Structure 1
């Protein structure tokens, strides 16, 4: 098969497209002929050797943990009903997704709902489940005003849609005219370019016209942008943090509110990734199932930006440089 392999940690150019042996499914596993593979910002960190809480991959490795396709081979003892089925799965900590073939534990598989494309299914198995996990922490309704940072990203796109589905007023922040246009088309009540210095004034003017303050900020960016966004929160507002993708931006990096600030303004702030999310949901699988159901029903519509498998390095560079909209997916 063809696959993307990483032989040494480093820049995107270290991702090479080459031939390698076909993987063989072990007992209880299936082999999937891949139709779409997800690219995550975490993949770019792992490629550079920055693993955080994740195990360091043994080199050479085939990156990627989200795949959709058709089951074309079974390991010993695997239920034969899986053969020929369209499936999607998150591979967990074991990589192998940037390829034409991958093996996965049968217990991790989900059937792809009828009418849902492979790329969209890949978006929902990772990005979709995280979005629903984040939404567990906020009960939005017509009285809510939600500010979504990085609103043109994979999670941001779904948070905008989810907020509008709940009847909330949604303000989406994104970087650049193309992304702002995407957020507007996605249904946000206001979309602003957070690379422009006057964006907080524009949002405040909009809120003043409504006679409202923001009630929740969904923050995956951090830094000065998160600071300015949380300044828009009224008393009792909530700051929901789930990343700091703005590290490379001026004034970027992780953002936290001090206990004194929280008390003085009556705010709450919570980082919702990790155990807090999975414990509340009863595990990741219920979130995956719910995300696929939401996409199949049309209530959530993931945005997908596709790249050929051979151009994985290009996809990584675009993602790192904030040049993508929605979920990045590789197509073998």
Structure 2
């Protein structure tokens, strides 16, 4: 099978097309013929050589931790899944490939009306935002700050916070994305120096909870704005979070969490904006786009776009 894999760690150019053995589904697993894979900062960090404690990434490594495709092989003891089912799924690696094998409890059915590009980029940021806001205990009457609110994860978080009853959601973004944030129901504010003062100007009653998906400056501002550090989380600045006394959260993705998000999408309660879609051969360009920052919505890779 074809896969966009790393022969070494480094800049986006190390991500190239490789011919690799097609995997087979083992007991309790399914194999999915991938149509679209999402691209996340996590994938770019793996490419640069970062390795989380639970993972051993040895080249050739295939990044990609979210995907959508068609089930084409069932392992032993798999029940409740049929060959040919269109699914949305998640993994840790291996999604930038024509085939991926995952445990059967890491997929859910794809709604027929959901475009493949949306489905491929749905699981990772959707579940990340859901998990973060759950830890922040976002609910009725809250004022919530979402740093990088126009990005793939941030736009999920804005919509979920409002859906869960937040009275006001403030999203940081570059000025070009302010109208987009308003369309999601958020109050936009500009990044950069003076952020704390700008947030206080639009939220004179204070900020109850904050999520950082932008970086260290945003996390420091969040800590200054939110009284209870248990209601601050970061998706990026983990070392600084420890220094500031901000709790971290571990893995929490599950089929049930993903299914609840898919149901919300099907009901019209959440939308996904696709910023760019790149063929598998241009996976390096997809990584460059993700690492530019200040983007609006999601970047995906078209693995099999023939039908």
Structure 2: gaps (5+ residues) = none
Distance 1:13 1:323, change over 3 A: farther
Q: SS at 2:247's partner residue?
A: strand
Structure 1 CA distance, aligned partners of 2:181 and 2:215? Answer: 19
Structure 1 CA distance, aligned partners of 2:213 and 2:5? Answer: 29
Contact 1:129 1:288 in 2 (8 A): yes
Aligned to 1:88: 88
Correspondence list, 1:139-178, <5 A: 139-141=137-139, 143-165=141-163, 166-174=165-173, 176-178=174-176
Distance 1:323 1:20, change over 3 A: farther
- What is the Cα deviation at residue 323 of structure 1? 4.9
Structure 1 CA distance, aligned partners of 2:100 and 2:40? Answer: 17
Structure 1 CA distance, aligned partners of 2:270 and 2:45? Answer: 28
Q: SS at 1:55's partner residue?
A: coil
With structure 1 as the length reference, what TM-score do the two structures score? Answer: 0.80
- What is the Cα deviation at residue 127 of structure 1? 1.6
Structure 1: gaps (5+ residues) = 248-252, 260-268
In the alignment, structure 1 residue 200 sits paired with structure 2 residue 199? no
Q: Is the deviation greater in 284-293 or in 17-26?
A: 17-26
Aligned to 1:125: 123
Distance 1:187 1:24, change over 3 A: same
Aligned to 2:240: 254
- What is the Cα deviation at residue 43 of structure 1? 1.2
- What is the Cα deviation at residue 226 of structure 1? 2.4
Deviation digits for residues 31-66 of structure 1 (CA, Å, limit 9, x no counterpart): 322111122211112112210323222321222121
Q: Is the deviation greater in 1-10 or in 118-127?
A: 118-127
Aligned to 2:213: 220
Corresponding residue pairs, total = 301
Structure 2 CA distance, aligned partners of 1:47 and 1:257? Answer: 26
Structure 1 CA distance, aligned partners of 2:149 and 2:258? Answer: 21
Pick the aligned partner of 2:104 from 103, 106, 125: 106
Distance 1:222 1:60, change over 3 A: closer
- What is the Cα deviation at residue 81 of structure 1? 4.9
Deviation digits for residues 274-302 of structure 1 (CA, Å, limit 9, x no counterpart): 06xx4xxxx73322222222222221223
Structure 1 CA distance, aligned partners of 2:279 and 2:177? Answer: 22
Q: Is the deviation greater in 299-308 or in 3-12?
A: 299-308
Structure 2 CA distance, aligned partners of 1:143 and 1:237? Answer: 19
Distance 1:72 1:200, change over 3 A: same
In the alignment, structure 1 residue 290 sits paired with structure 2 residue 265? no
Distance 1:198 1:309, change over 3 A: same
Structure 2 CA distance, aligned partners of 1:147 and 1:10? Answer: 33
Q: Is the deviation greater in 310-319 or in 136-145?
A: 136-145
Contact 2:88 2:119 in 1 (8 A): yes
With structure 2 as the length reference, what TM-score do the two structures score? Answer: 0.86
Aligned to 1:274: 250
